[in-house]
């Protein structure tokens, strides 16, 4: 019985060593892409360009050059919808503008895009919560 336990222990130890060594020595073989996978990659690159083309010179690429944020302004106050309505707590909606400036690297023509961002201060939680329109 002692010999069987000894051999079983040696066998288990050898199995553990093999399981440790094999993955570290294994080399992954490169796989060939199917034509469909190649088409999918090309289509994705065509759909999602990394830049816009200039409408003025039609020769340049337009990149975002800067982003500016205005200050937060309280635009509306409503009764709390997060559990504080029976205590008379309020939700304060705040908004700010994000102005992104884009410019063509060729002709230097540029334009701005303006976005409105919102947040809500909840008196009940004493914290900002998700803005719900």
pLDDT digits (tens, 9 = 90+) for 79-133: 888 877 777 889 999 999 999 999 998 898 899 999 999 999 998 888 888 776 5
CB 120 within 8 A of CB 91: yes
pLDDT value of position 7: 65
CB atoms within 10 A of CB 120: 20
Question: 88 Cβ partners below 8 Å, 6+ apart?
Answer: 79
Can you name the residues that pair with 59 across neighbouring β-strands?
Answer: none
pLDDT at 133: 57
Contacts of 130 (CB under 8 A, 6+ apart): 120
| CB contact set of 90 (below 8 Å; sequence gap of 6+) | 77, 78, 79, 80, 84, 123
Per this entry, what is the length of the chain? 133
Contact yes or no for 98/115 (Cβ under 8 A): yes
Q: Tokens standing for 50?
A: 């990394």
């Amino acid at each position: 019985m002692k010999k069987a336990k000894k051999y079983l222990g040696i066998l288990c130890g050898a199995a553990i060593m093999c399981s440790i060594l094999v993955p570290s020595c294994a080399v992954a073989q490169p796989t060939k892409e199917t034509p469909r996978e190649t088409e999918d990659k090309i289509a994705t690159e065509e759909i999602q360009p990394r830049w816009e083309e200039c409408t003025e010179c039609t020769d340049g690429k337009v990149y975002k050059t800067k982003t500016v944020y205005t200050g937060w302004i309280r635009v509306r106050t409503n009764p709390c919808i997060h559990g504080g309505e029976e205590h008379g707590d309020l939700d304060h909606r705040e908004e700010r503008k994000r102005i992104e400036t884009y410019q063509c690297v060729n002709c230097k023509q540029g334009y701005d895009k303006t976005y409105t961002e919102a947040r809500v201060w909840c008196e009940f939680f004493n914290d900002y919560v998700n803005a719900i329109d």
